[in-house]
Amino acid sequence: MASTNERRHIARSILTGAAWCVALLLVACAYMPAVDPTRWPLAGVITLFFPIALLLHLAMLVLVLIFAPRTGWMMLAAIVVCFPSLRAYCPINLPSPPPEGALKVITYNTQSFGNWQLNPDGSNPVTSYLVAEQADVVCLQEAYDIPADHYTKTIAPAMRPAYAHYDTVQIGPNVLACFSRLPIVGKRIITASASNGSALFVLQMPDGDSLFVINCHLESMHLSQDERNHYKQFVRHPGQTEIDSSSHRLLGKVADAAAVRAGQARATAAAVRALGDRRIIVCGDMNDTPVSYTRHCLTSASLTDAYAATGRGIGRSFNRDAIYVRIDHMFCSSSLRPHDAHIDRQATASDHYPLVCHFACRR
């Protein structure tokens, strides 16, 4: 029979082995965004497990520090190695109030203008919110499911007190809209699938230069309500959720969507590179987390993640189910400096919260 010391040694060895496995899982999730999901679709699924891997790692770190402290250095080293992904997922920044003259930009998936639910006074809560915000540029996604002439008859008049200019691009049933205080002098679709993609709007700045705004609504996972409920159950109770055929279908949908989204992200990044050293803002509902191939593509195009640079906290932007992540993002070129990026939780008409950021032109 094994002695007490032998049993302790075996337990520490098992704990150390488990700690290495958890640390490797965290590192794999943190660096998986560099892998193209069109080449290996499972990569787009693995990145979604980053927060779960992080929680497991932190729990294991506590156990290791208590029962196998000599292994603690490895667990801490893994956190250091994964720091760029940790900072992207949950940044901690000092306040960065915008300077005078900075552009205020809002990106907002409106869910068909809150499914066109009206306030008691007959106004629409989405348009009322945007008028009250008095931004310089507003990019809207899912601004659809309304009659074609609704923009000219209803939406544009409601928004005109704050935004003199607007234009839209339609991709299938989806409408990507841009409302602005600045004149809109051009537009084009960059990439499109059946109902998702990205579009470029060219705005004229007061100094005569152009501001290139790319409004994105990248490929959705197209999950049914049952699948979303299954995902919610899996996130909340991963060890208690049975891996059955519905789980495989769910993972298949996630992987397929990630592959399509990867192509759209590459096309959008290519459009950014083609613009060169210009004033560029890329924003919208990316349907992807801060630890993803989508973000990797855009930051690789020399864009700054405005929320990671100036925001604080996880910044949950999708406010339904257990999807407690930021899937709405905003990026800028080096000719712009971001300030005070934040999620505005006062706007509750849609299943997304707006993302707001200010940008100052660099001299």
| pLDDT of the residue at 235 | 53
Side-chain-side CA neighbours of 190 within 13 Å: the count stands at 28
- Mean residue pLDDT of the chain comes to 91
- Nearest-CA neighbor of 187 among 197, 177, 174, 172? 177
Residue 321: is its pLDDT beyond 80?
Answer: no
Residue 13: is its pLDDT beyond 80?
Answer: yes
Mean pLDDT of the region 1-8 = 74
Mean pLDDT of the region 155-180 = 94
| pLDDT of the residue at 260 | 96
| pLDDT of the residue at 174 | 93
Number of Cβ within a 10 Å radius of residue 195: 16
More confident position, 228 or 143: 143
β-bridge pairing 355-361 and 103-109: antiparallel
pLDDT, tens digit, 9 for 90 and up, residues 263-294 = 999 999 999 999 999 999 999 999 999 999 99
Residues 63 and 22 sit within 8 Å (Cβ to Cβ)? no
Residue 2: is its pLDDT beyond 80?
Answer: no
Query: For residue 23, what are the contacts with CB-CB under 8 A and spacing of at least 6?
Result: 57, 60, 74, 75, 78
| pLDDT of the residue at 95 | 95
| pLDDT of the residue at 281 | 98
| pLDDT of the residue at 7 | 82
341 band by pLDDT with thresholds 50, 70 and 90: very high
233 band by pLDDT with thresholds 50, 70 and 90: low
pLDDT, tens digit, 9 for 90 and up, residues 104-132 = 999 999 999 999 889 999 899 999 999 99
| pLDDT of the residue at 154 | 87
pLDDT, tens digit, 9 for 90 and up, residues 22-47 = 999 999 999 999 999 999 989 999 99
- Nearest-CA neighbor of 316 among 338, 290, 295? 290
Q: Identify the architecture of domain 103-361 in CATH.
A: 4-Layer Sandwich (3.60)
244 band by pLDDT with thresholds 50, 70 and 90: low
| pLDDT of the residue at 221 | 80
Lowest pLDDT segment from 120-129, 147-156, 158-167, 323-332: 147-156
pLDDT, tens digit, 9 for 90 and up, residues 46-105 = 999 999 999 999 999 999 999 999 999 999 999 999 999 999 999 999 999 999 999 999
